[in-house]
Amino acid sequence: MTSSSGKNGNHRVGVYVCHCGSNIAGVVNVFEVAKWAQENLADQGVVVAKEYKFMCSSLGQKLIEEDIQKEKLDRVVVAACSPHLHEKTFRGAAARAGLNPYLCEMASVREQVSWVTEDKQMATEKAKAMVSAAVARVRQHEPLDPIRVPINSSTLVVGGGIAGIQASLEIANSGFHVYLVEREPSIGGHMAQFDKTFPTLDCAACILTPRMSEAGMHPNIELLTWSEVENVEGYLGNYTVTVRKKARYVDVSLCTGCGICQQKCPRKVIDETFDAGIGYRKAIYTPFEQAVPKFPVLDRDNCTYFEKGTCRACEKFCAPGAIKLDDQDEIVQLNVGNVILATGYDTFDARRIPRYGYGKLPNVFTSIEFERMCNAAGPTNGAIVLRDGKTPPKSVGIIHCVGSRDHKYNSYCSAICCMQSLKFAHMVKERTGADVFNFYIDMRTAAKDYDEFYQKVLEEGTNLIRGKVAEVTDGGLFDEKPGQLIMQVEDTLIGKQRRIPVDMVILAIALEPRHDATAVAHQFGISCSTNGWFTEKHPKLDPVATMTDGIFIAGCASGPKDIPSSVAQGSAAAARVVSYIQQKELSLEPVRASINAEQCSGCRICNNLCPFNAISFDEVNLVSEVHQALCQGCGTCVAACPAGAITGTGFTNEQVLAQIEGLLRVPVHLETAHPVAV
């Protein structure tokens, strides 16, 4: 009568009901269940039904193995705990007895029945139903073999910030090849822009540059700077990545990095990227002295030659003749086994909060601008001065949480701003002796030696004012000193409004996901949180992996982090990658979709349902195909195929429908008779 168990009629099924001590037997009448299965499921091919104290015990497993051989069982059902706990165990037992492990099915009568049900009778009935369902389902099972895929030992690291550098070095040092792709002309990332790093105040360059040059020279690391990932195809172990190496207009094989081209270039350009807009560079430039690689790039949008066709100063002066004005973008294909995304963060655009006057009032700076200003190699050679470039401020106000912890912008905490602002406070004091006012909502200094640093800054006499600054206005308007900035704030500790005049305001702006984060996520088949950060496989237990096998994340790409955590994540991701590479090949659960070309009409409805791009269209035969290794087995396409041409191993229509029938076969409650499934 069952519509879906048409084929493979006569099976020999064994049913094993576990007491789990009293965990199950305490509520479910296991004896009754076993007996019932034996008698009432005979038509379903049940030949043995037994209960036992602990099925997962070696004795319990033995029992099953023996029966498989003695009773010639070709299907096994174990009614015990959740398959997430012991599926492997019992599949193992089946395998040992020479039965294909995938012909063994579990019914979770502990997690789903005994532990959650009060009424013992109803519990027993539900257990019966689940057993009958498992039997009905397992009858539809077919032998399966796990899928094996080899793993390419090279790795792609996207993003040359500290996290990416760290990851690359770890992998390279364990003897495997790494491609490090960086969008900018040099690796180094945000850390290279900083002057000092909290809480130890050692200079960023001093600790970063050795790592950079190590990565630059490492035999196992191939740097692709001034390059961007165009396309990603493949799956764990076998990714094919297309990278665009943007035209540098400099022949790196000839360039000696002498820098004469930069000196001679007549075109001065505001450096929006590395100097955060407060410094200048040339049209041909290396972002900073210690850049790795040392070769400059030519910014064609600002180059006189590309505008007017004249100039060519760089070309004239370059002794080795490395300037290549006819340079073209180059597309390269990389074959890698794993990918680490360390794409970092963007900073909040302070113009979005006009009341703080950034962009309107000259002496309002962002934290990143200020980092550059403090940096000895920065536009002011480390002098802390007003926008005029010479006057040192006598008083400085630092606003925390600009664009963070605010439902209008980003509701999350950017994690680093408190410490960064305290660091600024210290540096201002140290270098200018100016009065410093830090305006904070809550002070968050929770990490090793962070709070000690906070104490230190307090002792230095920094004024900490608890309150969100309402607005920054030009003091010139009123009788307050002209040219000064007035910070209007409610000091919530004294409950008073205060107007504090300062010469300079620093906005500790939020860390935001990269503007193109979602696009990148889509490209690599991973997902973003509602805030736009990459989502980890598990926020606590698997913070550097993603839902897509072989794609890992490190550093701020998955959320605001300080340098130590970013470095730690870099190493962690590297470790995960290396452990994959060491396995050489991988076996994947054979839960996969496949398309019957006969039945496929080529309607293409399934084509863009797959987030892992596993479905492609065969233009020749006009049918769609599923790439087995790409498929993650979610079954969405199976459910969506209008022609019923797609089947999903492990969860076929027949199996699920049979399971439903099985469940419906047993009434919820003895008293309430129910029409049986047909």
Partner 1 sequence: MDHTPRRLFALIKAGEMEEVLQSNTPWYCVSCYFCMIRCPQEIHITDLMYGLKTLAYQRGYTHNNKATHLSTTFAGYIERYGRAFELGIAARHYLRHPPKDLLGTGRMGTAMILKGRLKFLPERIKGTTQLNKILTRAKELETAL
Partner 2 sequence: MQERFEPMIIGFTCNWCSYRAADMAGTGRVKYPANVRLVRLMCSGRLDPTFVMKALAGGADGVLITGCHPGECHYIEQNYKALRRVTLLKRVLEPMGIDPRRVKLVWASAAEGVHLAQEITKFVEEIRELGALNWQLRTRVPDMAVSMHQLEEVAP
Partner 3 sequence: MKYLFYPGCSLHSTSSAYLDSLHAIEGKLGFELSEVEDWNCCGANEYIALHRIPSYALIARNLALAEEQQNGAQTLVAACSACYVNLARTAKYMGTDKELNARVNDALGAGGMHYTAGSVEVRHILDLMCNKLGACKIKKMVERPLSGLRVAPYYGCMVLRPDPDNRWRDPESPTALEELILATGADLVDFPLRTHCCSGHMPQITTETSLDLIRRLVEGAVKSGADLLITTCPLCQLNIDGYQAQMNKFFGTSYSMPIIFFTQLIGLAFGLSPKAVGIGKEIVSAAPALARIGVKEEAAPVTSRRPPKDTGLPMPRMPKAYGDEL
Rg of the chain taking only CA atoms, in angstroms: 33
Q: Is residue 425 within 8 Å of 542, Cβ to Cβ?
A: no
Among 111, 222, 406, 460, binds partner 2 (CB under 8 A): 111
Question: In 3D, which of 655, 609, 660, 659 has the Cα closest to residue 634?
Answer: 609
CB of 393 to partner 3, least distance (A): 13
Task: Please report how close the Cβ of residue 511 comes to partner 1 at its closest, in angstroms.
Answer: 17
* 637 within 8 A of 631, measured Cβ to Cβ: no
Residue 406, binding choice from partner 2, partner 3, partner 1, none, Cβ under 5 to 8 Å by partner class:
partner 1
**β-strand 196-197 against 202-203: which pairing, if any?**
antiparallel
Give the β-pairing of 593-595 and 268-270: unpaired
Q: Going by C-beta distance under 8 Å and a sequence separation of 6 or more, which residues neighbour residue 430?
A: none
Q: Does 383 bind partner 1 (CB under 8 A)?
A: no
> Pattern 325-354, binding to partner 3, x per CB under 8 A?
-------------------------xx-xx
Task: Determine, following the binding rule CB under 8 A, whether residue 609 of this chain makes contact with partner 2.
Answer: yes
Contact 504, 386 (CB under 8 A): yes
- Residues numbered 639 to 658 that lie near partner 2 (CB under 8 A) are 639-640, 648, 650-651, 653, 656-657
Residues 303 and 283: beta-carbon distance below 8 Å:
yes
When the beta carbons of 153 and 473 are compared against partner 1, the nearer one is 473
Whether 191 and 563 have beta carbons less than 8 Å apart is answered as yes
Structural tokens at position 151 = 């793993």
Name residue 510's amino acid.
Answer: A
How many residues sit close enough to partner 2 to count as binding (CB under 8 A)?
63
Structure tokens at 311: 């100039």
User: Which residue from 410, 473, 569, 655 is in contact with partner 3, where contact means CB under 8 A?
Assistant: 473
Residues 356-385 as x/- pattern, contact with partner 3 by CB under 8 A: --xxx-x---x------x-----xx----x
Helix (H) or strand (E) holding 339: strand 338-341
d(CA 673, CA 678): 15
Contact 227, 244 (CB under 8 A): yes
Question: Which of partner 2, partner 3, partner 1, none interacts with 628 (beta carbon under 5 to 8 A by kind)?
Answer: none
| Contacts with 516 (C-beta within 8 Å, 6 or more apart), sequence order | none
Q: 92 contacts which partner out of partner 2, partner 1, partner 3, none, CB within 5 to 8 A by kind?
A: none
Are the C-beta atoms of 498 and 356 separated by less than 8 Å? no
CA atoms within 13 A on the CB side of 320: 13
Q: Name the residue among 267, 268, 297 with its Cα closest to residue 280.
A: 268
Site for partner 2 in 570-599 (CB under 8 A): 591
CB of 23 to partner 2, least distance (A): 10
Of 7, 308, 390, 408, which one interacts with partner 1 (CB under 8 A)? 408
- Stretch of 293-301, 364-372, 449-457, 487-495 contacting partner 1, by CB under 8 A: 487-495
Q: Does 611 bind partner 2 (CB under 8 A)?
A: yes
Contact 415, 444 (CB under 8 A): yes
Asked if 41 contacts 33 with a C-beta cutoff of 8 angstroms, the reply is no
Nearer Cβ to partner 1, position 207 or 441?
441
Stretch that binds partner 1, among 159-167, 228-236, 403-411, 502-510 (CB under 8 A): 403-411
Which one-letter DSSP state was computed for residue 282?
A: E
**Binder of partner 2 out of 97, 123, 223, 645 (CB under 8 A):** 123
Interface contacts to partner 1, rule CB under 8 A: 355, 405-408, 468, 470, 490, 492, 495-496
Interface contacts to partner 2, rule CB under 8 A: 82-85, 108, 110-113, 115-119, 121-123, 125-126, 129-130, 133, 525-527, 529-530, 535, 547, 591, 609, 611-612, 632-636, 638-640, 648, 650-651, 653, 656-657, 659-661, 663-664, 667-672, 674-678
Interface contacts to partner 3, rule CB under 8 A: 270, 277-280, 350-351, 353-355, 358-360, 362, 366, 373, 379-380, 385, 387-390, 473-474, 476-478
